[in-house]
Structure 1
Amino acid sequence: MRITCAVAVLAAANLLNNWLARGPAMYVVICVTTTAVLLLIARWDGLTRADLGLDAVAVRRGLRWAPVLVGIVLLVLLVLLAVPAGREAFRDARATDLSLGRMLWGALVRVPFGTVLLEETAFRGVLWAMIRRRHGAAWATGVSSLLFGLWHLMPSRGINRSNAAVASAFGDGPGGVAPTVAVAIVATALAGVVLCELRRRSGSLIAPMTLHWAVNGLSYALAWSAARWWLDG
């Protein structure tokens, strides 16, 4: 019952963010509000801060992981940017067409306090803990990662039109939408497995939050910067 309620809340938030949200501030408001509701459901289910990986010990442990994770992600992104074959991934209109202020808002507000806060609290925090208590860590990772993949169905519909690498692989027309969405769901489900395993091994929700922000936020900033100072055209 409570897991179903959490999934229903997430489904409603997904619809609001992809169909009804107007402007970047509304997206953050929806994400923060949904996070609060999910935490209330977690409390209703009897979960503690320790269960969610958010007690004092877990936070300290996660903060020790943070600089290592950010450093690894930054190194990988810089290597990709330095290799001609990897640069196409940085040609993404969702970041490159923004002003400096909008880019900073995206990397420092929208991503951490919108995307990361909600998705990590939901999929590696509340749902993972609820399912683990009932069925064990393997089921928790599998189910939450599958739901994480499906969560990206709607937002991935336009990637083949905004990202040069995806357009090159699948085409930027209507025919490229279905394969792009399918690959996005699989890729994000696999990413969910990695994030769940990081959550399990670190014992902290801060660790997957940090990795998630590093991948999204640094990619955002580097795509914007590279379009102006590195990439041709």
Structure 2
Amino acid sequence: MRIVCAVAVLAVANLLNNWLARGPVLYVVVCVTATAALLLIARWDGLSLADLGLDAAAVRRGLRWAPVLVGIVLLVLVLLLAAPAGREAFRDARAADLSVGRLLWVSLVRVPFGTVLLEETAFRGVLWAMIRRRHGTAWATAGSSLLFGLWHLMPARGVNRSNAAVGSVFGDGTAGVAPTVAAAIVATAVAGVVLCELRRRSGSLLPPMVLHWAVNSLGYAFAWAAARWWLAG
């Protein structure tokens, strides 16, 4: 029952963020509110901060992972940008069209306090801990990762039109939407497994949060910069 309640909260948040609440501030409000609701459900389920990877000891452990994870993401992005073929991944209209102010908002507010806060609390925090307590770690990782993949069904619908690399693989027209969405669900489910394993190995929710933020925010920043200095014209 409590797992169903958590999934229902996520379903409502996903609907609001993708169909109704499209304003940048409202998106963050929805994410923060949904996060609070999930934490209340976790408390109702009897989970402690330690179960969620959020107690003081877990945060200290997580802080030791943070610079390494950010460094790895930066290295991968630099290597991609250095290779002519890799630069195609940065042709993304969602980032290229941002002003400096909007880029800062997305990287420093929307992603960490919207996307990362909700998704990591939900999928590597509350749901992972709830399923793990009932069915073990393997089921927790599989179940939360599958839900994480499905969570990206609606956001992935326009990616083949906004990202040139994705469009070149699946097509940038209507026919390319379905394979793009399917690929996004599979890719994010696999990413969910990686993030769950990071959560398990570190014993903290902070490392998956940091990695998620670094991939999203630094990815936006690199795509924004590439559009102006490496891909222009």
Same fold (TM over 0.5): yes
Please report the TM-score for the alignment, with normalisation by the length of structure 2.
0.99
Q: What code does the residue aligned with 2:28 have?
A: V
Query: Alpha carbon RMSD of aligned pairs, Å?
Result: 0.5
Aligned-partner SS, 1:95: helix
Task: Give the structure 1 partner of residue 163 of structure 2.
Answer: 163
Question: What is the rounded CA distance, in whole Å, between the counterparts of 2:17 and 2:232 in structure 1?
Answer: 33
Residue 217 (structure 1) aligned with residue 229 (structure 2): no
Question: What is the rounded CA distance, in whole Å, between the counterparts of 1:188 and 1:155 in structure 2?
Answer: 12
Cα offset for 1:23? 1.2
Question: What is the rounded CA distance, in whole Å, between the counterparts of 2:232 and 2:88 in structure 1?
Answer: 11
Please report the TM-score for the alignment, with normalisation by the length of structure 1.
0.99
Q: What code does the residue aligned with 2:103 have?
A: M
Question: What is the rounded CA distance, in whole Å, between the counterparts of 1:35 and 1:51 in structure 2?
Answer: 16
Task: Give the structure 2 partner of residue 146 of structure 1.
Answer: 146
Task: Give the structure 2 partner of residue 11 of structure 1.
Answer: 11
Task: Give the structure 2 partner of residue 109 of structure 1.
Answer: 109
Q: What code does the residue aligned with 1:152 have?
A: H
Question: What is the rounded CA distance, in whole Å, between the counterparts of 2:230 and 2:173 in structure 1?
Answer: 27
Flag structure 2 segments of 5+ consecutive residues without an equivalent.
none
Question: What is the rounded CA distance, in whole Å, between the counterparts of 1:23 and 1:37 in structure 2?
Answer: 21
Q: What code does the residue aligned with 2:3 have?
A: I
Question: What is the rounded CA distance, in whole Å, between the counterparts of 1:28 and 1:232 in structure 2?
Answer: 32
Task: Give the structure 2 partner of residue 206 of structure 1.
Answer: 206
- Counterparts of 1:153-192 in structure 2, within 5 Å, are 153-192=153-192
Flag structure 1 segments of 5+ consecutive residues without an equivalent.
none
Cα offset for 1:22? 3.1
Aligned-partner SS, 2:47: coil
Q: What code does the residue aligned with 1:18 have?
A: N
Task: Give the structure 2 partner of residue 55 of structure 1.
Answer: 55
Cα offset for 1:88? 0.9
Per-residue CA deviations over 1:133-154 (Å, capped at 9, x if unaligned) read 0000000000000000000000
Cα offset for 1:229? 1.4
Question: What is the rounded CA distance, in whole Å, between the counterparts of 1:73 and 1:224 in structure 2?
Answer: 16
Per-residue CA deviations over 1:71-117 (Å, capped at 9, x if unaligned) read 00000011011111111110101110011100110011000000000
Question: What is the rounded CA distance, in whole Å, between the counterparts of 1:93 and 1:133 in structure 2?
Answer: 42
Aligned-partner SS, 1:156: helix
Q: Which stretches of structure 1, 4 residues or longer, exceed 6 Å deviation after superposition?
A: none
Question: What is the rounded CA distance, in whole Å, between the counterparts of 1:232 and 1:36 in structure 2?
Answer: 42
- Percent identity at matched positions? 84
- Counterparts of 1:11-90 in structure 2, within 5 Å, are 11-90=11-90
Q: What code does the residue aligned with 1:194 have?
A: V
Q: What code does the residue aligned with 2:105 have?
A: W
Per-residue CA deviations over 1:181-231 (Å, capped at 9, x if unaligned) read 000000000000000000000000000000000000000011001111122
